[in-house]
Structure 1
């Protein structure tokens, strides 16, 4: 892999700064996952280094993110803390992401509708905040969102005001740290240091405790039949969420650097990073928006910056872990609450009342499913409903256009032929791709609009680029109804793709007459009404008499 050293100074500055910002987040997210702070650091190192080395977004910084932690925390609770199975899920997630990249899935992930993305990102932010309430109040709540919510009344009844004040102080520093000082020390790191120093002046504050230092041990995948499907499902969710999270961050990086990332290459890089993370006891990660923005604003432009960020964290693991042992849980909880608040899509929530109500309702539905059911159900339901709503909207437009067609034409020759038909020729112009959305109502609306005294029905497909099987079956129904009524059916304007579908479904005897243009079809219809011989089409689309 070729490394670009043309922006060495900016990449070093950006990488070091991003590494400092990533340190408290890696520790906090590692604790939130249930696997511990060291797993958070190992994940940040492995994903950060290998996603930068092999990925398709040069300026992106990768590591543990909120969405991934929510899945891992749920898996930790479901597996009763069986770390080997959890790391197996991380390894499988990485392999799945590599497969996604090889198969070119990256281009499709970007098609997820915005209300769905907004809903599950906001839901993830809400979950992170809910999971930290207990720790802010001085307790260690049971795993899972519902467990944390059910534990909340007990935590409120037994508040440790010292931890609450410490967490509140950390949150305030993270939010209100002066921008001028932020150039030298990021707000998250300042909150971590100040909150930890203040904790030395008080007692009875739960802290992280001893953190092992040194190089990680190898964790080969293990499989247990009783938990196989649970692990596989979690791996798939991690792979999909990590892919979406990374590619959304890639779009942010593109906007800032005026470049264009390679989606599938990015998925391969993320997959390699997660596979290595699982093998060496690290939690899963993805492209991290905040750390990427910090890197770019600090001068980082190439993949070297992401690799340097990972090396900074490696130095912490090898020599500075004793210092991290004194970090209070409440301080990390305060940092995580800010992470959760930052993930919530406030921009869309503030403007949602001005937009389509259906989109906002979809966002709220996905949000609710994310918090109270699970992420994969939320995204799956959201995408299906959004797709059905879109298909229905397009179908309504197509049907409305069909209703609005008058028995006249802007072309003088076509209009003259329509007048010669004396109302016995009905023309129906279809517009846009015809799919299953419009197919259900297509035949009904054609039957409604056919004039009682008509003798020839013309279907004009000149503005139809494509057609699916459902629409082809609807055209077959129209043909059957036309023949049953003793009328002639003419078809014109079909391109090769539409003709191929119609012939495959309906056979070559679908219509009484076919032509390339509406003008030719109208001329043939007028002659048929006048009782003239059957017409055929020459290569130049002019009607001739047998």
Structure 2
């Protein structure tokens, strides 16, 4: 193993900063925080999908183990997520758990193919405004998911949540040796055991697993009808899962000022979901709230991801009697902290400083995501608005200057800017198709034709002018534009000059 390979291995697994023992200790403790942040959401998302909590918990364990080795973004926590659960719910309701497991395996296969084809490049079309809206919407959803745990309870629950938040935020001022959320869990659990009080515990959220997950193929008939049922859901689960994972990876890139392999994350998530389906779990993806918590408390390497999965299994099975006694108030306090940390508070002041269209895109992404609880819908709307606003802005930069040369009775149209589907009609409107001049010269030296809509508009202009007896000359086409014209507008080739 070369020195460079060893350095990369160490950086990916232990964060690459300081002594290896320090990196290991930091990642282990941060991963444990990520585990406790996973439990309430995974159980809640399991109910959303209509499956037993152990299905979601098993999935998060398997994903954590596989993605730690196969993923492309160190320090990212993945598990059974709400976005995928929303897609899976209809399939479970209509056909049952075995079909969900088959869809999970197929979704993983789709994700592997997406990664191998390099489709992660589609993330480049997601603007910073959409990413900010995505983060803010998730922060709101994380907080709103805690609200049901704070309704219909007595003052003991509120007191415990307040104490938990005080420990989480105040303890780091004294010492950061152990992440404050872990101390919050230990202290609140000890209090609830020592002083009996009417508060909910993890045992009240749902039945925890009592054994390890077992390998089994989905028990479904291998028929064409089954394929027709499973494929649409599998594709949707794969797309939504990849979208959330890619967005989460980008957020971690920004937080840690590092880069990651999005293509490897695609294939790694696919391998994880194939394994999940074969071990009786629901498909998952990157979880931004838990990931931000992991980063906040020092997680930088793959070890933190691995610990989050391994420790989840320990909590579920060997430590189950103790895990069931953890008060829900402690987990709520942790998730409130995660939601506060996740939200981009600077984006509020940015609304006044940044262009209005950027603010509109961000707010639209937040609004649609929160309203639908569907990340793909929110990001889709954001990307669509970004594209529309960009096209509108580029369209306004297109201009046509008209001159007349009396000596040669020639009308000269000097075109500048980008001509494409959104600006082609505006481009055409600048031409007088019944020009009284004997000759017309169209100068495209400062312009570029981008698509067949632009070429079609140019061909229509030339054809109509020639129909009215006007001699048309076309000059200044750059090489790319000329290729489009040669392929798609043969009538225009005859009038090209130099």
Say whether the fold is shared (TM-score over 0.5): yes
Q: Deviations over 1:461-485 (max 9, x none)?
A: 3344552010011101211232244
What does 1:66-465 align with in structure 2 at a 5 Å threshold? 68-72=81-85, 75-76=88-89, 79=92, 83-138=97-152, 159-181=153-175, 183-200=176-193, 201-209=195-203, 211-218=208-215, 220-221=217-218, 235-254=234-253, 259-283=258-282, 284-286=284-286, 288=288, 291=291, 294=294, 298=298, 300-301=300-301, 303=302, 306-375=305-374, 376-398=376-398, 401-402=399-400, 405=401, 407=403, 421=407, 424-432=410-418, 434-447=419-432, 454-465=437-448
SS at match of 1:489: strand
Taking a change above 3 Å as real, the CA distance of residues 348 and 258 of structure 1, as seen in their structure-2 partners, is closer
How far residue 422 of structure 1 moved from its aligned partner, in angstroms, is 6.3
Q: Name the TM-score, length of structure 2 as normaliser.
A: 0.81
Pairing partner for 1:499 from 482, 485, 493: 482
Q: In the alignment, is the contact (CA less than 8 A) between 2:201 and 2:328 conserved in 1?
A: yes
How far residue 104 of structure 1 moved from its aligned partner, in angstroms, is 1.1
How far residue 310 of structure 1 moved from its aligned partner, in angstroms, is 3.6
What does 1:37-56 align with in structure 2 at a 5 Å threshold? 38-39=54-55, 41-56=57-72
Q: Measure the CA separation in 2 of the matches of 1:218 and 1:21.
A: 28
User: Are positions 1:481 and 2:475 aligned together?
Assistant: no
Q: Where do 5+ consecutive residues of structure 1 fail to align?
A: 139-158, 408-417, 517-546
How far residue 28 of structure 1 moved from its aligned partner, in angstroms, is 1.8
Structure 1 stretch displaced more, 292-301 or 44-53: 292-301
Larger Rg: 1
Q: In the alignment, is the contact (CA less than 8 A) between 1:12 and 1:308 conserved in 2?
A: no
Tell me what 2:76 maps to: 61
Q: Deviations over 1:130-168 (max 9, x none)?
A: 232121124xxxxxxxxxxxxxxxxxxxx4332233233
Q: Deviations over 1:167-218 (max 9, x none)?
A: 333344334442453x322232222222222222233222222633442133
Taking a change above 3 Å as real, the CA distance of residues 213 and 330 of structure 1, as seen in their structure-2 partners, is same
SS at match of 1:459: strand
Q: In the alignment, is the contact (CA less than 8 A) between 1:91 and 1:279 conserved in 2?
A: yes
Taking a change above 3 Å as real, the CA distance of residues 334 and 220 of structure 1, as seen in their structure-2 partners, is farther
How far residue 397 of structure 1 moved from its aligned partner, in angstroms, is 1.1
Q: In the alignment, is the contact (CA less than 8 A) between 2:405 and 2:411 conserved in 1?
A: no
Q: Measure the CA separation in 2 of the matches of 1:215 and 1:384.
A: 44
Q: In the alignment, is the contact (CA less than 8 A) between 2:415 and 2:447 conserved in 1?
A: no
SS at match of 1:426: strand
User: Are positions 1:515 and 2:492 aligned together?
Assistant: no
Taking a change above 3 Å as real, the CA distance of residues 362 and 294 of structure 1, as seen in their structure-2 partners, is closer
The count of corresponding residues between Structure 1 and Structure 2 is: 473
SS at match of 2:133: helix
Taking a change above 3 Å as real, the CA distance of residues 62 and 328 of structure 1, as seen in their structure-2 partners, is same
Tell me what 1:413 maps to: none
- Let me know the Cα RMSD of the aligned residues: 3.6
How far residue 41 of structure 1 moved from its aligned partner, in angstroms, is 4.6
Q: Measure the CA separation in 2 of the matches of 1:480 and 1:55.
A: 56
Taking a change above 3 Å as real, the CA distance of residues 38 and 386 of structure 1, as seen in their structure-2 partners, is same
Q: Where do 5+ consecutive residues of structure 2 fail to align?
A: 15-19
How far residue 239 of structure 1 moved from its aligned partner, in angstroms, is 3.1
Taking a change above 3 Å as real, the CA distance of residues 86 and 22 of structure 1, as seen in their structure-2 partners, is farther
How far residue 300 of structure 1 moved from its aligned partner, in angstroms, is 4.5
Q: Measure the CA separation in 1 of the matches of 2:89 and 2:199.
A: 25
Taking a change above 3 Å as real, the CA distance of residues 191 and 86 of structure 1, as seen in their structure-2 partners, is farther
SS at match of 2:450: coil
Q: In the alignment, is the contact (CA less than 8 A) between 2:455 and 2:484 conserved in 1?
A: yes
Q: In the alignment, is the contact (CA less than 8 A) between 2:315 and 2:323 conserved in 1?
A: no
SS at match of 1:437: coil
Q: In the alignment, is the contact (CA less than 8 A) between 2:192 and 2:327 conserved in 1?
A: yes
How far residue 111 of structure 1 moved from its aligned partner, in angstroms, is 1.9
SS at match of 1:109: helix
Pairing partner for 1:26 from 23, 38, 41: 38
Tell me what 2:17 maps to: none
How far residue 299 of structure 1 moved from its aligned partner, in angstroms, is 7.6
